[in-house]
Chain A
Amino acid sequence: MKKLTGAEIIWECLQKEGVDVVFGYPGGAILPTYDAMTKYPKIHHVLVRHEQGATHMADGYARASGKVGVAIATSGPGATNMVTGIATAMMDSSPIVCITGQVGSKAIGTDAFQETDVTGVTLPVTKHNYLVTKPGDIARAIREAFYIAKSGRPGPVLVDITKDAQQLTAEFDWEAAAPKLPGYRPNHRAPDSEFTRAAELINAAKRPLILAGQGIIKSGTTEEVLKLAKTAGIPITTTLLGIGAIPASSPLNLGMMGMHGESWVNEAIQQADLLIALGMRFDDRVTGNLKTYALNAKKIHVDIDPTEINKNVPVDVALIGDLREVLAEIQPQVKKADHADWWTTIKAARGDSAVRDIQTLPDNGHLYAAHVINDIWRLTQKRETIVVTDVGQHQMWEAQYFRHDEPRSLITSGGLGTMGFALPAAIGAKFACPDKDVWVVVGDGGFQMTSCELATAEQEGIKVNVAIINNSFLGMVRQWQEFFYDKRYAATPMTGPDFVKLAEAYRLSGLRCNQRSDVKATVTKTLADKKTVVIDFVVEKEDSVFPMVPAGADLDKMIRRPKQDVMLESGSDKEWEMPASPLPNVFTEKQVEAKALTGRGKSASARPAKKTAKSRR
């Protein structure tokens, strides 16, 4: 049997796991591994500019490809820089493996230079983690890490390896290193009786609704879900992470649910008599007030993770297991139905709210974020595109106005809501899908958190298209301040660098656009450029995301875009103006929680006087 150093064993294992790219940053405690890397040219190493970037890249790679992403860092500060990226992957069930260097095994516990208890620090944000102190244990730890990361409900696994374990030699025996995990049971199967009960509920329902989550994307069951919905005449709504699971163009797809979802969808949820939750977890952003959530509905919950069942919403039937298997089991028992009345009700509600569409507003010289996003969608429809968003208003506008037809075509930090995610995750996604266009939709705030990764894109010759939705504010927080804190904009106005010059400083292309009429030319130019392009879309400063369920309020008590009512009443299509303040500043978060806010009534009655936006550049 071949004797190899621990460092070589690491690369052998990665190669055997099929890894072709790793994202990392060197340092003393991982140096032996970097030194050994030179012997493994088949694995491409991407030098990031910050270890957080490495984890987001691994995450973006994983989400775009469905494979395991790998990030590498040194001990102490290198490893702690990874924590945000690991937590992000954990919340969104993204399979990544992080390999970190650790101080020598003899030095552990002595507060040695760059020592941190990394397994301790990452314990609550990893699916599992390892501290390896002997070269002979490395192979098994890495094999188990990959197996754990991708099986069951996927998630991040960290392997912390001491420097001496990397330096010393051991026999490398891949077979003998097969995972031995007596307690790990990723595969569940619900009892037969539960399938029968689920089918009975579906067949008896008059107003059923499918809640489609990311689990559909992870299990690749778009077709199966559509088939079920078609057979039983069931409308579908998606979560944020479920976007793309069901084509936006499918007539069965009503759109997104939740805090910034479609109002008719939330109304439908509240009226439904059966919710079929597929691979989604009833996050508070999709349920609103749990006390009033879907009280009329029986609930079927399909999830691969037993701990999700009854965590937030008590369910009538729990089907713990792989979605593909569950659907295969249920489908034959489901009777044909059309639920014409239910569809009519939903369509009526939709007709009522259709005026939300800021798209129907003619160009008035202002640049609205929603326009930018919708235009990018229109202009890139013929191309295969992955959009990676950051967190904030632009993220919600993307979800509302970019119509995703393919699974894995929207990558976004849903669970943790990590600003700074977009650019590095997009670089990871581009490595996973080099033939697709990758767009970054990012706020001016979040972009500044990880913009250093532009250097990585440049060094790697990677092309991503960065659309900065620049409103000179931490927009989403500003929106909350406007709605719930009496417009006190504490610490949300934000200046940025000249993003065009910044791009140029990185030897990349920079463009600026502040007219809707220029969007087309800008996008065309961007696509033609071989390099990464950074576009500074200078948009309306004080626009808000509508509709919105205030945190803690009932799901169907949404705040609507006030102007919409005006348009409805007049029925006219006259030039749209941004109200100075879309809402009166009467809501505090407390008040919203206390008395159920009737969104529609409030916004209609409290319609502000028409004024032209004062905040235009």
Chain B
Amino acid sequence: MAKHTLIAYVEDVPGVLNRVASLFRRRNFNIDSLTVGGTDQPGVSRLTVVVDTTEAGARIVEANLYKLVNVLRVDDLTHKASLTRELGLVKVKVTPDTRAQILQLVDVFRARVVDVDEKTITAEVTGTPEKIAKFELILRPYGIAEMVRTGAVSMARGHEPVSSAPPQVRTVTDHAHDNSGISMSV
């Protein structure tokens, strides 16, 4: 078992997220993190799904995602050079004694203070999920009042078609015998 990062381009139609989530539920895969947002192409959304499974499990997930009619394309970034980012907002308790230390830590993590009052400091931190986890760990002894993470978003590095070419929207007739874009290593 290991974390696998899958990217799915989906048609932006009602219920599509439900379909994706339902698939994971039905096939008994546990979603670690799932983020959705728009792309540069109208009508196309992009999901980053992190799922804890075996290599074979990842292939099954990928194949199942492809089976959803609204899914345009799937990429597995697990073994590719890729960028992964997550945003965290951490509200940490402060006292006059700890304020300076906390600000220093925020600085070390290249986080940004986005809100301050007499009892708390809220910092915004972006980075790999590991970095955010570390940030939380370091601040924990001071007392975390509230925290939220967005979940990971990922993208392949370089100028490979994965990131530069948005999925092509084609009509039924021209994808007879077309399995381009299917990277199933089965």
A interface vs B, CB < 8 Å?
Answer: 119-120, 123-124, 127-128, 131, 147-148, 178-185, 187-189, 305-307, 309-311, 314, 318, 320
Contact = CB atoms under 8 A, between A and B. Distances in A.
Contacts, number: 80
B63 A183 contact: no
Nearest to B72: A183
A119 B14 CA distance: 11
Contacts of B163: none
28 contacts: A124-B26, A131-B14, A148-B69, A180-B172, A182-B72, A182-B168, A182-B170, A182-B171, A183-B69, A183-B71, A184-B172, A185-B66, A187-B177, A187-B179, A188-B182, A189-B177, A305-B67, A306-B66, A306-B67, A306-B184, A307-B63, A307-B64, A309-B63, A309-B186, A310-B59, A310-B60, A311-B60, A314-B56
A312 B48 CA distance: 26
B178 A187 contact: yes
A445 B72 CA distance: 45
A614 B16 CA distance: 59
Given A183-B71, A310-B59, A320 B10 contact: no
A393 B30 CA distance: 37
A161 to B, nearest CB: 15
B51 to A, nearest CB: 15
A318 to B, nearest CB: 5
Interface of B: 10-11, 14-15, 18-19, 22, 25-26, 56, 59-60, 63-64, 66-73, 167-172, 175-179, 182, 184, 186
B179 A189 contact: yes
B68 to A, nearest CB: 7
B182 A183 contact: no
Query: Which of A128, A189, A306, A318: most chain B CB closer than 10 A?
Result: A306
Nearest to B67: A307
Contacts of A305: 67
B69 A184 contact: yes
A307 B67 CA distance: 8
B186 A124 contact: no
A123 B22 contact: yes
Contacts of B63: 306-307, 309
Nearest to A188: B179
B67 A120 contact: no
A409 B119 CA distance: 77
Contacts of A123: 15, 18-19, 22
Q: Which 4 A-B pairs have the closest CB atoms?
A: A183-B72, A306-B63, A182-B169, A307-B63
